[in-house]
Amino acid sequence: MSFHLVFNSLRISLFSLLFTGISLFTNAQIQSSVFITLPSQKNALVLQVNEKKHLTMVYYGKKLSNTEEYQNVSGVYKQAEDYTGQLNSAYTPSGSLNLVEPAMSITHADGDNSLDLKYVSHTLKQENDDVSLLSIVLKDPVYNFTVTLFYKSYFKEDVIEQWSAVKHTEKGNVILHKYASANLHLKGSGYWLNQYHGDWAKEMQPEESKLTHGIKTLDTKLGTRANLFQPSVFMVSIGQPAKEDEGTVLFGSLEWSGNFRTDLEVDLQDNLRIISGINNYASDYTLKPQEEFITPAFLYTLSTEGKGVASRNMQRWARNYKLLDGKGTRLTLLNNWEATYFDFNESKLANLLKDTKKLGVDMFLLDDGWFANKYPRNGDNAGLGDWQENKEKLPNGIASLIKEADNNQVKFGIWIEPEMVNPKSELYEKHPDWVIKESKRDEYYFRNQLVLDLTNPKVQDFVYGVVDGLFTKNPELAYIKWDCNAVIYNAHSATLKNQSHFYIEYVKGLYKVLERIRAKYPKVPMMLCSGGGGRVDYAALQYFTEFWPSDNTDPLERIFMQWEYSYFYPAIASSNHVTDWGKQPIKFRTDVAMMGKLGFDIVVDKLAADDLKYCQDAIKNYNSIKPIIWQGEQYRLSNPAESAVAAMLYMNESKSSGVIFNYLVNYRYGVKSTLPILLKGLDPAKKYTIEEINLYPGTKCTLTGTKVYTGDFLMKIGFNPDVNTSRTSVILKIEAAGG
Ligand code: DGJ
């Protein structure tokens, strides 16, 4: 990888940089306008220090062959006067020249509200042949106040993580009113925002609209379960709405598990400014002299070849760098939540453990309801916080269940919701000051519960202790499902000195606990659940191996939901369970769940013999194809929102093995796959065989004709999976001849 700096008056060879790994450039060396180019495999992000020493963003798009030509980019635009020279600021300060939405606004120690940020120096650190870290120091010329911008670039994945660090040595505290992670500036003839909204069981509903002049804000103020109504992931198409394999599109999201805010502003020059960071709602931050405030990272990738490429870049990046154990393996499981809810005891569980073995999955997952004695957890209105086994349900404790699991040669996992408390609990009685509430106001509950105050180190110890205690007592425990069902009302900590820091300190407290857990238990698989998908983001996924996309497991709904999640998150992280939701047959339900990390939450005992046989065989099939689903590239072939048939292909890296999932999503009379479906991501020269797998007992494959096709044929003419109302779900295995 190379890193280019083009100076109007001098040009620096990058040889030394590549050999030393670090290069530092300072203001003293640079007399006139400086270009800082951050190239990746296909793109370049170009910044310019202008004559006034302001850092501006001049280009983000396909990279040029001749890097010196980036100097000419701005000159070919004939847009309106910008009046400030700051509209394309790479980090817009407020209160001086700025006339638009700022990235940062502050009050200095002397009470002044103005901020100007000028370029001081920049450094590039090459971490390896893929990853580099560019940092650029900006300083207020009047005050001792600096902001350092960080751009971590993943060359092969075309992904950038961007964040900022703020520091000052003023004579007193500075108040940060707004402190964005990143401020992008893009040019195009129009911008289309694809955003998501949701609620319980309705996660990841896409909505696309053209951005008009002014500001569109995506944000949350829920504190915990922060994504419930709106996740931070979004797409912006430039020039025209991007399609799967065409168009320029930026995917973005904030790596933060609390309140976020992303402003998308089409400015007076018709350019798009994107400013993303922690939501400053109720969160003025008081920064002491010498203290450093580091924002979370804003994550983005740009594709000029449509959404498919952007999603594969994001997924590969996640598996390689962010998701815990992204290249590792996962456990298939049987969960008891929908089979028993709170109503179980040792003997019921003993049967479920046998069923786990009978089904052929790796693990049994015991869900909610196993704990609390004074206020037993027999419903969602009591017991949360009292993490001792319920003596009536489990007189011999978790240890005996783990032993029983072992007797059945399966592993054992358990559900917890350690950040939460029911008012009807011993924990609440003992530690009312550990609970987030306004003591002068009525308590207000979400699912009959309140959130514990993770800004308080004692509460952090308690939450860590819940997990550590379980593992210490039960070293064989194989898995944790970490739930989080409430949002924060009455955001107030009994112990935090500055309540304006509350929302930020909550998330930091959560991360401190997760850090400690991972320091001691680096790889134990943990599922990130939040009454469904109310929490998933890439900061949290550093600590979790998978997430729960939604309690809605109706497979028809899931086809749409998983489709949308897959743009941002890899299949290995998506926990998909077969349940009794929806009207589809077991084959359909199982096939859909196989598109990620497979699990079951059904009463195995009640399955008809053929249904059971089908599931057992499907699990065996899954075990043979799971490396492709977990580590392969995902190609969206036929969009359920646009067609009666949904189709998704997973292909391994060498393009030799793949799996295609096909579903009927429209049940009107006579609907079927009339046309062949075009495949993608194959080697045109290779010959492939296509075979149907996961057939329901007693049914025959209806695919006729030749079974060998070239990749060229399959990508130009396609293949018909023969989906129709009597074949609503078809899984095809595609294999290159000779492997
Ligand atoms: C919400 C989760 O999404 C469910 O899967 C289940 O674990 C319940 N909580 C248990 O209370």
User: pLDDT tens across 256-280, in order?
Assistant: 999 999 999 999 999 999 999 999 9
Which residue from 394, 393, 373 is spatially nearest to 382, judged by alpha carbons? Answer: 373
- The protein residue with its alpha carbon nearest to ligand 1, atom 5, reads 551
Relative to beta strand 657-664, strand 708-710 is: unpaired
Give the three-state DSSP class for 351: helix
Sign of CA dihedral 389, 528, 573, 731: positive
**Both ends of the chain: CA-CA distance in Å?**
32
Query: What is the pLDDT at residue 21?
Result: 56
Q: How far is CA 222 from the centre of its chain?
A: 18
- The protein residue with its alpha carbon nearest to ligand 1, atom 10, reads 368
Beta bridge partners of 416: 482
Q: How far is CA 270 from the centre of its chain?
A: 30
Say if residues 54 and 150 touch (Cβ distance below 8 Å): no
Query: What is the pLDDT at residue 24?
Result: 60
404 lines ligand 1 (CB under 6 A): no
Which residue from 154, 182, 183, 133 is spatially nearest to 315, judged by alpha carbons? Answer: 154
Ligand 1 centroid – CA 368 distance (Å): 7
- The protein residue with its alpha carbon nearest to ligand 1, atom 3, reads 531
Beta strands in 304-349 (DSSP E): 333-335
- The protein residue with its alpha carbon nearest to ligand 1, atom 2, reads 531
**CB neighbours (10 Å) of residue 672?**
16
529 lines ligand 1 (CB under 6 A): yes
483 lines ligand 1 (CB under 6 A): yes
200 lines ligand 1 (CB under 6 A): no
Phi, psi dihedral angles at 658 (to 5 degrees)? -150, 170
pTM for this prediction: 0.96
Dmax over CA atoms of the chain, in Å, equals 81
601 lines ligand 1 (CB under 6 A): no
497: which DSSP letter? Answer: S
Distance CA(74)–CA(58), nearest Å, equals 7
Phi, psi dihedral angles at 289 (to 5 degrees)? -55, 140
Query: What is the pLDDT at residue 33?
Result: 72
Which residue from 630, 655, 632, 635 is spatially nearest to 646, judged by alpha carbons? Answer: 635
Ligand 1 mutation target, pool 367, 414, 421, 579, most atoms within 8 A of CB: 367
Say if residues 576 and 663 touch (Cβ distance below 8 Å): no
543 lines ligand 1 (CB under 6 A): no
User: pLDDT tens across 560-574, in order?
Assistant: 999 999 999 999 999
For 6-52, the DSSP string reads EESS-B--SHHHHHHSEEEEEGGG--S-EEEEEE-SSEEEEEEE-TT
61 lines ligand 1 (CB under 6 A): no
Both tokens assigned to 212: 């008009």
Question: Whose structure tokens read 């817009």?
Answer: 92
Q: Extract the residue ranges of the chain whose pLDDT is less than 70.
A: 1-32, 706, 739
In Å, what is the CA distance from 425 to each residue of 383, 436, 466? 5, 15, 15
Ligand 1 mutation target, pool 202, 337, 421, 446, most atoms within 8 A of CB: 337
Beta bridge partners of 173: none
510 lines ligand 1 (CB under 6 A): no
Burial tier of 613 (Cβ tally within 10 Å: 0-12, 13-18, 19+): middle
Query: What is the pLDDT at residue 738?
Result: 77
Query: What is the pLDDT at residue 2?
Result: 37
